Chains A and B, each alone.
Chain A
Amino acid sequence: KNQVEQSPQSLIILEGKNCTLQCNYTVSPFSNLRWYKQDTGRGPVSLTIMTFSENTKSNGRYTATLDADTKQSSLHITASQLSDSASYICVVSANTGNQFYFGTGTSLTVIP
Chain B
Amino acid sequence: DTEVTQTPKHLVMGMTNKKSLKCEQHMGHRAMYWYKQKAKKPPELMFVYSYEKLSINESVPSRFSPECPNSSLLNLHLHALQPEDSALYLCASSPPPGTSQGKNEQFFGPGTRLTVL
A91 contacts B106, CB within 8 Å? yes
Does B72 interact with chain A (Cβ within 8 Å)? no
Within the complex, the shortest CB–CB distance from A35 to chain B, in Å, comes to 12
Given the contacts A32-B105, A93-B106, A41 and B31 also touching, CB distance less than 8 Å: no
A29 to B103, CA, bound (A): 13
Complex CA gap A103/B41 in Å reads 9
- A-contact bits for B67-109, CB 8 A (1 contact / 0 none): 0000000000000000000001010001001000011111111
Chain A contacts for B42, CB-based, 8 A: 89, 102-105
* B interface residues, how many (CB within 8 angstroms): 28
Some 26 contacts from A to B, beta carbons below 8 A apart, are A31-B104, A32-B104, A34-B106, A36-B108, A42-B111, A43-B4, A46-B105, A49-B103, A51-B102, A51-B103, A87-B40, A89-B42, A93-B106, A94-B104, A95-B104, A98-B33, A98-B50, A98-B55, A98-B56, A98-B104, A100-B45, A100-B106, A102-B43, A104-B42, A105-B41, A107-B40
Known: A34-B105, A91-B106, A98-B94. 14 other contacts (CB 8 A): A31-B103, A31-B104, A32-B104, A34-B106, A41-B88, A44-B43, A46-B107, A51-B103, A93-B105, A98-B48, A98-B50, A98-B104, A104-B41, A104-B42
